[in-house]
Amino acid sequence: MNQQPGEGWATKQGADNLTPPKTPLLISLALSSVGYFWRQAIRDVQDQLKITVLAIAILGYVTHTIIDTVKGFHNIGLRKSQPKSYHNFADNRCWCCSIPNSSDVLSNIPFIIALYPAWKLYHYEIDLAGEPIFHDSRESIAWFVCFFGTGLVSLGSAYYHWRPTNSRLVWDRLPMTMSFMSIQYILLTETLGVEIMMSNSWLLWGLLVSGFGSVVYWAIFDDLTLYKTVQFLPQMLCPLLLIGFEPIYTMRGFYVVGLGFYALAKVTENNDKRIYILTKGVISGHTIKHFCAALALYTFYFQMMNRIKILTPQTKI
């Protein structure tokens, strides 16, 4: 029997979805303003000072997260648990080939297309004009991880939405952290400088381990504190990195467009039922979320294949 829009859906989502913490959002807005004036008024200041300030900001936020995690470890009442009602999505119709939750399962297909740029990076590392894409070929590793992780999301997310449970959600979130952390590393490379990041390539693997660890910690202790930091830290730092530092590639604004698509994905996810009712049961907010998140990655790929390298002191290798 076809379900009517909103029928059988939890009446309150509240904290069910991973809504961005208010503090990081406020910090992000503040960093946008600070970054602009930083770049305009302090152009003659050595990059080392900027890097120091950035490191202090990251360290402060991560320290805050660790303190919250330790508190939750010792006091269950302080943990940011995953509500069971999170799995009650608006659209649970079975309309295609006996696939349960058909819309949310099949809308993961766009993610698997990300395996194509991953394959291309693994074999070629050249742009549409046949020129090398990167200042340093080692930059391709982080991009490969990003696209390969997104391709795996298509499998993990489809597996989860087939029968939504916490245990299945683990396999959705693990590959997502590959994309989150590799994008963070890419942004750091393209702002702090190729020489710095390539000589500290261990940072990419450290970020990936921390991403995996945040999901494992949630799965064991039912505390989302670490995972929320992994998910939203790149968005929080993006304004400062893009505005406060000189670019080493053109078309850097496409990062903002891509992150904008991801922000839209979160908005539609948090309005899953409202959108389902508004469209009279045609499509839910969570299904739209999958398409918006895929568009974010396509935007990054378009930028990567069409941009032009800029020769600056940060590009020395």
Give backbone dihedrals phi and psi of 175, rounded to 5 degrees, phi first. -70, -25
Task: Give the separation between CA 227 and CA 284, rounded to whole angstroms.
Answer: 25
Residue 24 has pLDDT above 60, yes or no: no
Phi-psi region of 309 (alpha: psi -120 to 50; beta: other; left: phi over 0): beta
Query: Which has the higher per-residue pLDDT, 168 or 42?
Result: 168
Query: Which has the higher per-residue pLDDT, 174 or 76?
Result: 174
159 CA to centre of own chain:
20
Helix (H, G, I), strand (E, B) or coil at 257: helix
Contact 149, 176 (CB under 8 A): yes
The DSSP string of 28-69 is HHHHHHHHHHHHHH-TTS-HHHHHHHHHHHHHHHHHHHHHHH
| Percent of the chain topping pLDDT 90 | 38
Task: Give the separation between CA 139 and CA 182, rounded to whole angstroms.
Answer: 11
Q: Is 131 exposed, middle or buried (0-12, 13-18, 19+ CB in 10 A)?
A: exposed
Averaged confidence pLDDT in the chain = 80
pLDDT digits 0-9 by tens, 46-85: 566 666 666 666 666 677 667 777 777 766 777 788 888 8
Instruction: Measure the CA angle with vertex 264, ends 263 and 267; round to 5°.
Output: 90
Q: For residue 217, give Cα distances in angstroms to 30, 64, 116, 205.
A: 30, 17, 31, 18
- Regarding pTM above 0.75, the answer is yes
Residue 268 has pLDDT above 60, yes or no: yes
Residue 286 has pLDDT above 50, yes or no: yes
Q: What is the pLDDT of residue 160?
A: 97
Contact 113, 147 (CB under 8 A): no
Residue 243 has pLDDT above 80, yes or no: no
**Residue 100 — very low, low, confident or very high, per pLDDT cuts 50/70/90?**
very high
Task: Give the separation between CA 314 and CA 80, rounded to whole angstroms.
Answer: 40
The DSSP string of 268-287 is HHHTHHHHHHHTTTS--HHH
Torsion of CA 260, 261, 264, 270, to 10 degrees: -120
Phi-psi region of 19 (alpha: psi -120 to 50; beta: other; left: phi over 0): beta
